[in-house]
Chains A and B, each alone.
Chain A
Amino acid sequence: MNRTGLVLVRIGVALAALVLAAAIAFAWLSLRRDSDWPAIADIGGPFALIDHRGQPVTERDYLGKPMLVFFGFTHCPDVCPTTLFELTNRLKELGPDADRLNILFITVDPERDTPQELALYLSSFDRRITGLSGPPEAITVVMAAYRAIARKVPLTDGGYTMDHTATIYMMDASGRLVGTTNHQEPDATIRAKLKRLLGGT
């Protein structure tokens, strides 16, 4: 091999090393990122569930309007009723504007939360909130799409409660995540975020 060839090989090796280092750094950065969000574009996606009126639905039924998505379950004494109650208040303030929103409450406990149970539960909140249940596998799919986590916690005297992601996902009309909120945020902040979400359609 002549001298020029050797230099070229060296440059090639150096470039390859750089690319590899960049790839490792990127992978490491993505892994160590401690936020809930692996990458915003990855949140959301296809699902096939049953709504609280007993109708089969997919994500396509909710495109065309901005959407709020919240995971929870009816055997939840605090965060779920509080979130639904707060949302009910915000929707009431928005009045007819809230008709331009889809609001989904997806159960993480399909074993106990049948569509009928969800219908009864949601009768205490704004009627524009839709409850979704379905077979456990279908719930797993939608939770994975939203990077939501839930796990059963057994109780000493039998039965179980559940830990779960309590984020409210804010999606635009094309199903892209544009922001998040939760029940701990001040009313004014949630109000402003909802207005922004509705304004952006």
Chain B
Amino acid sequence: MSQLRKSLLAMSILAATAGPAPAQTYNVGSLTIEQPWARATPGGAKVGGGYMTITNNGTQPDRFVGGTLPQAGRFEIHEMKMEGGMMQMREVRGGLEIRPGQKVELKPGGYHVMFMDLRAPFKQGEKLKGQLRFEKAGTVDVEYRVESLGAGGPMHGH
């Protein structure tokens, strides 16, 4: 192999491995789901939080109504709020609306997927395959990346 070829090969390998990993993006109907992630859970925990960003590129409202995760017996959509020093948790009944043009963020301290009746803890670095269900767009397979116990958001490209 010529020197040039060798260096070209080396460069292409570098380009393929050193660049930022593409953000995991999933499309279903007119919705785009970006970077689903979950938080690692403490020992014995029966619940875990799932987070992502959902954008509605269409002209009709849709609703995030549920989903599944093999590691969890139940999948619910909840909202957390801090009010006067109180942590309040509410089920989002009837699904989370995503209006046309709207970008809805599920993140710690706000809307989140509540995985319940966990069969196994979520470990940092794991990838969890699951499914999301929307009223109009239907279902889509996604993969959650498990971030650290204290993560505030998804990690980018590493």
> Interface residues, chain A, CB within 8 Å of chain B?
34, 36, 74-79, 81-82, 84-86, 89, 117, 120-125, 149, 153, 155-157, 159, 161-167, 182, 184
- Which residues of B have CB within 8 Å of A85? 149-150
- Which residues of B have CB within 8 Å of A123? 42-43
Contact yes or no, B91 A36, CB < 8 A: no
Main secondary structure of the interface of B (DSSP, over half): strand
- Which residues of A have CB within 8 Å of B41? 81
- Which residues of B have CB within 8 Å of A161? 78, 89, 114
Q: Which of B14-22, B79-87, B135-143 contacts A (4 or more CB under 8 A)?
A: B79-87
| Interface contact tally, CB-CB below 8 A | 90
Q: Chain B, 66-77, contact with A by CB distance < 8 Å: what is the 0/1 string?
A: 000000001010
- Which residues of B have CB within 8 Å of A82? 108, 150
- Which residues of A have CB within 8 Å of B90? 153
B82: shortest Cβ distance to chain A, in Å? Answer: 7
Given known A75-B46, A75-B47, A79-B80, contact A86–B87 (CB-CB < 8 A): no
In the complex the two chains form, what is the Cα distance from A167 to B84 in whole Å? 10
Contact yes or no, B114 A77, CB < 8 A: yes
Contacts A/B (CB < 8 Å), 5 sampled: A36-B84, A77-B39, A125-B42, A162-B89, A165-B87
In the complex the two chains form, what is the Cα distance from A187 to B88 in whole Å? 23
A185: shortest Cβ distance to chain B, in Å? Answer: 12
- Give the nearest-CB partner of A117 in chain B: B44
B71: shortest Cβ distance to chain A, in Å? Answer: 14
Given known A78-B109, A78-B112, A166-B85, contact A155–B45 (CB-CB < 8 A): no
Number of interface residues of B (CB under 8 A): 32
- Which residues of A have CB within 8 Å of B84? 34, 36
- Which residues of A have CB within 8 Å of B80? 78-79
In the complex the two chains form, what is the Cα distance from A176 to B46 in whole Å? 35
Since A74-B44, A77-B78, A153-B89 are in contact, a sample of 14 more A-B pairs with Cβ atoms closer than 8 Å, ordered by chain A residue number, is A36-B84, A75-B46, A77-B49, A78-B87, A78-B108, A79-B82, A81-B150, A82-B108, A85-B149, A120-B44, A121-B45, A123-B42, A155-B91, A165-B85
B41, B84, B85, B90 — which one has the most chain A CB atoms within 10 A of its CB? B85
Q: Does B156 reach chain A (CB closer than 8 Å)?
A: no
Contact yes or no, A81 B39, CB < 8 A: yes
- Which residues of A have CB within 8 Å of B49? 77-78
Contact yes or no, B87 A74, CB < 8 A: no
- Which residues of A have CB within 8 Å of B28? none
Q: A122, A155, A164: which contacts B86 (Cβ < 8 A)? A: A164
In the complex the two chains form, what is the Cα distance from A105 to B39 in whole Å? 21
